A = this chain, B = another copy of it.
Amino acid sequence: MTAMGATGGNNCILALSGGVGGAKLALGLSRAVPAHRLAVVCNTGDDFQHLGLTICPDLDTVTYTLAGRNNTRQGWGLADESWQVMAALKDLGGPDWFNLGDRDLATHLYRSELLSRGLPLSAVSAKLCAALGVAPRVLPMSDDRVSTRVLTDSGELSFQHYFVREQCRPRVLGFRFVGSDSARPHPDLVRLLTAPDLGAVVLCPSNPYVSIDPILSLPGVRALLRNCPAPVIAVSPIVGGRALKGPAAKMMGELGVDCSALAVAEYYRDIVDGFVLDTLDGEHVSAVADLGLVAVVANTVMVSLDDRLQLARAVLALARQLAGGSTPCSL
């Protein structure tokens, strides 16, 4: 977290991401910098065991999105999907609350097989990326298990039970990241955060509480971000007082936090140097600046591929600005 780092044309961009929103910006970044200079570290707090399988929603959303295979209409899973297994599972009276397409299931089966052979999750992720033709590195935040638990007025729920089975209905009281005390951040995450030639760290427009915080909860990661030689930039997931997707706005309200981009900037202020607000939130620029952050306004509502690329470019331009004019990547 400093604007002093070298950000030359060969520097890496490290994106920290949750699912859909983060994956959109990751795709934009993948079109803005050469693949070998982009690493996307994904939240694995949402990962869970279901039907005997290890399911990693954020890793898969990012991987499928970078592969151009994501289901854009549905917002999760794979395009051109079929649903034979779920239909049969439902016929059997099995648990069908978590919808899994047939092709998506192949990913979970393959991953579960590889994990059962002793491969770390990051090696599994690398294999899946290779199989799907994804060139940038897509990494789990840790090869150790961390499980996000949502503390609610209906009791403590695993994230997927809260998010999918209960459709985010329970009132949120807080969060726990079980295992984060002892989980080791992935060595490449540590290496990148301490690399003298890191170009920028990008906190993607993901849910601060359940997508980014699990990554930040890993031992040492907050300190590494604070001492990071490269600019750290967050993109607000809140636009015009609303979350584009997911329960971030509802959570903020239930936690007694004003639902605004400014509140997100305040939440991240101790670890970020720069903050990107949506054009709808121009009113907050000076307040964000008062927090000591360099604030810029951009279109953060990524509908088209070009929107994703333009936002990536705005983030990289801010990184350049924070680094004092040198380019973090050859655009």
**Contact between A103 and B131 (Cβ–Cβ < 8 Å)?**
no
> How far apart sit A47 and B85, CA to CA, in the bound complex (Å)?
21
Residues of chain B lying within 8 A (CB to CB) of residue A86: 106
Interface residues of A, Cβ cutoff 8 Å to B = 49-54, 82, 84-86, 88-89, 91-95, 102-103, 105-113, 115-116, 127-128, 131-132
What 3 A-B pairs have minimum CB-CB distances, sorted nearest first? A52-B112, A88-B106, A84-B102
A51-B112 contact given A85-B105, A103-B84, CB 8 Å threshold: yes
Residues of chain B lying within 8 A (CB to CB) of residue A91: 106, 131
Question: Which of the residues B50, B92, B108, B109 comes within 8 Å of A107, measured between beta carbons?
Answer: B92
**Could you say how many copies of this chain the assembly holds?**
2
Residues of chain B lying within 8 A (CB to CB) of residue A132: 92
Residues of chain B lying within 8 A (CB to CB) of residue A89: 106, 109-110
**Contact between B110 and A92 (Cβ–Cβ < 8 Å)?**
yes
Question: Which of the residues B49, B109, B112 comes within 8 Å of A85, measured between beta carbons?
Answer: B109
> How far apart sit A113 and B91, CA to CA, in the bound complex (Å)?
15
**Contact between A88 and B103 (Cβ–Cβ < 8 Å)?**
yes
> How far apart sit A106 and B84, CA to CA, in the bound complex (Å)?
9
**Contact between B85 and A116 (Cβ–Cβ < 8 Å)?**
no
Main secondary structure of the interface of A (DSSP, over half): helix
A94-B116 contact given A53-B52, A84-B84, A88-B102, CB 8 Å threshold: no
Taking the nearest CB of chain B, how far is it from the CB of A79, in angstroms?
A: 12
> How far apart sit A113 and B92, CA to CA, in the bound complex (Å)?
13
> How far apart sit A91 and B102, CA to CA, in the bound complex (Å)?
13
> How far apart sit A110 and B50, CA to CA, in the bound complex (Å)?
9
Residue of B nearest to A102 (CB): B84
Residues of chain B lying within 8 A (CB to CB) of residue A110: 51, 89, 92-95
Taking the nearest CB of chain B, how far is it from the CB of A150, in angstroms?
A: 21
Residue of B nearest to A104 (CB): B88
Additional A-B contacts beyond A88-B106, A93-B127 (5; CB < 8 A): A50-B113, A51-B112, A52-B53, A82-B82, A88-B107
- 28 sampled A-B residue pairs with Cβ under 8 A: A50-B113, A52-B52, A52-B54, A52-B109, A52-B116, A53-B109, A53-B112, A82-B82, A82-B102, A84-B85, A84-B102, A85-B85, A85-B102, A85-B103, A85-B105, A86-B106, A88-B102, A88-B103, A88-B106, A92-B107, A92-B110, A92-B128, A92-B132, A93-B110, A93-B127, A94-B113, A95-B113, A105-B105
Residues of chain B lying within 8 A (CB to CB) of residue A107: 88, 92
A106-B131 contact given A52-B53, A52-B112, CB 8 Å threshold: no
A106-B92 contact given A49-B116, A116-B49, CB 8 Å threshold: yes
> How far apart sit A94 and B95, CA to CA, in the bound complex (Å)?
25
Residues of chain B lying within 8 A (CB to CB) of residue A116: 49, 52
> How far apart sit A106 and B110, CA to CA, in the bound complex (Å)?
16
> How far apart sit A134 and B164, CA to CA, in the bound complex (Å)?
33
> How far apart sit A110 and B96, CA to CA, in the bound complex (Å)?
10
Residues of chain B lying within 8 A (CB to CB) of residue A49: 116
Residues of chain B lying within 8 A (CB to CB) of residue A111: 52
